[in-house]
């Protein structure tokens, strides 16, 4: 796959995501990036990566950027409350 083909796929995925956001009511402010999660949960990058690999921390990856839905993070915290 060439770089041009890959970039075209990314553009199409972004367009699809924008349309989904409109229909599902998901807005950009409903999402957090990796640095937000690390700061919010006071964890390291390695811990965040380990939790993603174990399926503890649900995420979406677009290109190299990782995003988390605020609602899923709230559910995660509620499920693990003692």
- Looking at per-residue confidence, does 24 or 63 come out higher? 63
Mean pLDDT, range 51-66, rounded to an integer: 92
CATH of the domain at 26: 1.10.10
- Looking at per-residue confidence, does 32 or 11 come out higher? 32
Domain extent, residue 66, equals 3-79
Domain count, the chain: 1
DSSP characters over the chain: --HHHHHHHHHHHHHHHHHHHHHHT--GGGEEEHHHHHHHHT--HHHHHHHHHHTSS--EEETTEEEEEHHHHHHHHHHT--
Which pLDDT value is given to residue 55?
Answer: 92
Q: What is the pTM of this model?
A: 0.61
- Looking at per-residue confidence, does 54 or 17 come out higher? 54
Percentage of the chain lying above the pLDDT 70 cut: 87
């Amino acid at each position: 796959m060439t770089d041009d083909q890959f970039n075209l796929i990314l553009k199409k995925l972004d367009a699809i995501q924008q349309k989904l956001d409109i229909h599902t009511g998901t807005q950009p402010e409903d999402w957090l990036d990796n640095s937000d999660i690390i700061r919010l949960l006071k964890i390291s990058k390695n811990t965040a990566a380990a939790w993603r690999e174990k399926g503890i921390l649900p995420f979406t990856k677009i290109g190299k950027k990782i995003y988390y839905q605020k609602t899923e993070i709230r559910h995660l915290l509620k499920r693990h409350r003692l």
